[in-house]
Amino acid sequence: MTGAWEWSYEGYEPDEERLREALCTLGNGYFATRGAASETSTGGPHYPGTYMAGCYDRLISTVQGRKVENADLVNLPNWLPLRYRIRPVGADPGPWLSPDHQHLKEHRQTLDLRRGTLNRRTVYEDGAGRHLDVEQCSLVHMGTPHLAALRTAFTADGWTGSIEVEAAIDGDIRNTGVPRYRDLSNRHLTGWSTGTGQDGVVWLRCRTVESDIGFALASRTVATSGGPGRHPERSARHYRPRQTPRQVFQTLVLPVDAERDAVVDKTVALYTSRDRAIGSPLRAAVAGVRTAPDFAELLASHCRAWAGLWDRARIEVPGEAGRILRLHLFHVLQTLSPHTAELDVGVPARGLHGEAYRGHVFWDELFVLRFLSLHFPEVSRGLLDYRYRRLPAACRAAQQAGRAGAMFPWQSADDGREETQELHLNPRSGRWLPDRSRLQHHVGSAVAYNVWQYCQATADTDYLHSKGAEMLLQIARFWASGAEWDASLARYRIRGVVGPDEYHDAYPGAGSAGIDDNAYTNVTAAWVLARATELYRDLPEPRRRTLLERSGLDPAELERWEDISRRLYVPYHRGVISQFAGYGELDELDWAAYRKRYGDIRRLDRILEAEGDTVNRYQASKQADVLMLGYLFSPGELGGLFQRLGHVLDDETWRATVDHYLARTSHGSTLSSLVHAWVLARVHREEAWTYCEEALTGDVVDIQGGTTAEGIHLGAMAGTLDFVQRGMTGLETRDDALWLSPAPLPQLSKFGVRIRFRGLGDVDLGIRARRLRIAVPHSHHPAVRLVLGGHTHVIAPGTERWLDLPTGRRSDRRHGKGRQG
Ligand code: BGC
Containing structural domain, residue 637: 376-666
Q: Per the domain annotation, does 709 fall within a domain?
A: no
Q: Which of 335, 364, 445 to mutate to test the pocket of ligand 1 (most atoms within 8 A of CB)?
A: 364
Residues of the chain with pLDDT > 70, as a percent, come to 97
Q: Per the domain annotation, does 630 fall within a domain?
A: yes
Last residue of a domain, one of 631, 666, 701: 666
What is the model's pLDDT at position 771?
Answer: 95
644 plus 748 within the same structural domain: no
Last residue of a domain, one of 294, 310, 326: 310
Q: What is the C-alpha to C-alpha distance for residues 521 and 87, in angstroms, rounded to an integer?
A: 66
Q: Per the domain annotation, does 396 fall within a domain?
A: yes
Assign 3-class secondary structure to 478-528. HHHHHCEEECCCCEEECCCECCCCCCCCECCCCCCCEECCCHHHHHHHHHH
Backbone angles phi, psi at 372, to 5 degrees: -60, -40
Looking from the CA of residue 671, the nearest atom of ligand 1 is 9
- The residue contributing the CA closest to ligand 1 atom 7 is 669
- Please state, in angstroms and as integers, the Cα–Cα distance from residue 806 to each residue in 334, 747, 752, following that order: 38, 19, 18
80 plus 222 within the same structural domain: yes
> Using CB atoms within 10 A of its CB, is residue 749 exposed (0-12), middle (13-18) or buried (19+)?
middle
- The residue contributing the CA closest to ligand 1 atom 1 is 669
Give the bridge partners for 764, in sequence order.
754, 775
Q: Per the domain annotation, does 761 fall within a domain?
A: yes
**Which H or E element spans position 765?**
strand 760-768
pLDDT digits (tens, 9 = 90+) for 524-536: 999 999 999 999 9
93 plus 185 within the same structural domain: yes
Give the SS3 label for residue 193. strand
Residue 799: other Cβ atoms inside 10 A: 14
| Distance between Cα 361 and ligand 1 center (Å) | 10
Q: DSSP readout, 240-259? A: PPEEETTEEEEEEEEEEBTT
pLDDT digits (tens, 9 = 90+) for 702-731: 988 889 999 999 999 999 999 999 999 999
What's the distance, CA 554 to chain centroid? 38
What is the model's pLDDT at position 807?
Answer: 80
Give the SS3 label for residue 548. helix
What's the distance, CA 462 to chain centroid? 27
Last residue of a domain, one of 270, 289, 310: 310
pLDDT of residue 814 exceeding 70 = no
| Distance between Cα 672 and ligand 1 center (Å) | 10
| Positive or negative torsion for Cα 399, 404, 409, 412 | positive
303 plus 383 within the same structural domain: no
| Distance between Cα 447 and ligand 1 center (Å) | 16
Q: DSSP readout, 703-764? A: TTSSSGGG---HHHHHHHHHIIIIITTT-EEETTEEEE-----GGG-SEEEEEEETTEEEEE
The residue-averaged pLDDT of 688-707 equals 92
Residue 276: other Cβ atoms inside 10 A: 6
Backbone angles phi, psi at 650, to 5 degrees: -85, 170
What is the model's pLDDT at position 230?
Answer: 59
609 plus 492 within the same structural domain: yes
pLDDT digits (tens, 9 = 90+) for 449-506: 999 999 999 999 999 999 999 999 999 999 999 999 999 999 999 999 999 999 999 9
Looking from the CA of residue 349, the nearest atom of ligand 1 is 12
What is the model's pLDDT at position 2?
Answer: 63
pLDDT digits (tens, 9 = 90+) for 188-200: 999 999 999 888 8
**Which H or E element spans position 354?**
none
Give the bridge partners for 751, in sequence order.
767
Pocket of ligand 1 (CB under 6 A): 349, 357, 362-364, 500, 502, 622-623, 669, 671, 715
- Which residue from 818, 497, 462 is spatially nearest to 636, judged by alpha carbons? 818
- The residue contributing the CA closest to ligand 1 atom 8 is 669
67 plus 206 within the same structural domain: yes
Q: Per the domain annotation, does 682 fall within a domain?
A: no
* Mean pLDDT across the chain: 94
Looking from the CA of residue 500, the nearest atom of ligand 1 is 9
Residue 811: pLDDT band by 50, 70, 90 thresholds?
A: very low
What is the model's pLDDT at position 817?
Answer: 41
User: The domain spanning residue 521 has which CATH number?
Assistant: 1.50.10.10
User: The domain spanning residue 295 has which CATH number?
Assistant: 2.70.98.40
- The residue contributing the CA closest to ligand 1 atom 6 is 669
User: The domain spanning residue 776 has which CATH number?
Assistant: 2.60.420.10
- The residue contributing the CA closest to ligand 1 atom 11 is 669
Backbone angles phi, psi at 214, to 5 degrees: -90, 140
Gap between the terminal Cα atoms of the chain = 51
What is the model's pLDDT at position 231?
Answer: 67
Assign 3-class secondary structure to 739-754. EECCCCCHHHCCEEEE
Assign 3-class secondary structure to 520-537. HHHHHHHHHHHHHHHHHH
Q: Per the domain annotation, does 504 fall within a domain?
A: yes
Q: Which of 671, 673, 704, 712 to mutate to test the pocket of ligand 1 (most atoms within 8 A of CB)?
A: 671
Task: Note if the pTM is more than 0.75.
Answer: yes
pLDDT digits (tens, 9 = 90+) for 56-93: 999 999 988 889 999 999 999 999 999 999 999 999 99
The residue-averaged pLDDT of 177-198 equals 93
Q: Per the domain annotation, does 525 fall within a domain?
A: yes
| Distance between Cα 332 and ligand 1 center (Å) | 17
List 502, 557, 710, 732, catalytic entry: 502
- Which residue from 468, 523, 459 is spatially nearest to 491, judged by alpha carbons? 523
- What per-residue string of b and e applies to 171-190 under the rule 16 or more CB within 10 Å gives b? bbbebbbbeebeebbbebbe
142 plus 29 within the same structural domain: yes
The residue-averaged pLDDT of 193-208 equals 94
pLDDT of residue 809 exceeding 90 = no
| Distance between Cα 452 and ligand 1 center (Å) | 22
| Distance between Cα 694 and ligand 1 center (Å) | 16
Residue 225: pLDDT band by 50, 70, 90 thresholds?
A: low
| Distance between Cα 669 and ligand 1 center (Å) | 6
Question: Are 512 and 498 in contact, with CB atoms under 8 Å apart?
Answer: no
Give the SS3 label for residue 68. strand
What is the model's pLDDT at position 815?
Answer: 54
Q: Per the domain annotation, does 693 fall within a domain?
A: no
Check if 16 is active-site.
Answer: no
Give the SS3 label for residue 679. helix
Residue type, 564: I
Looking from the CA of residue 360, the nearest atom of ligand 1 is 5
Contacts of 501 (CB under 8 A, 6+ apart): 579, 621, 622, 623, 624, 625
Q: DSSP readout, 120-159? A: EEEEEE-TTS-EEEEEEEEEE-SSSTTEEEEEEEEEEES-
pLDDT of residue 508 exceeding 90 = yes
658 plus 745 within the same structural domain: no
285 plus 383 within the same structural domain: no
| Positive or negative torsion for Cα 636, 639, 644, 645 | positive
- Which residue from 369, 358, 316, 312 is spatially nearest to 715, judged by alpha carbons? 369
Provide the 8-state DSSP code for 15.
Answer: G
394 plus 268 within the same structural domain: no
pLDDT of residue 440 exceeding 60 = yes
- The residue contributing the CA closest to ligand 1 atom 9 is 500
pLDDT of residue 819 exceeding 60 = no
How many separate domains does the chain show?
A: 3
304 plus 380 within the same structural domain: no
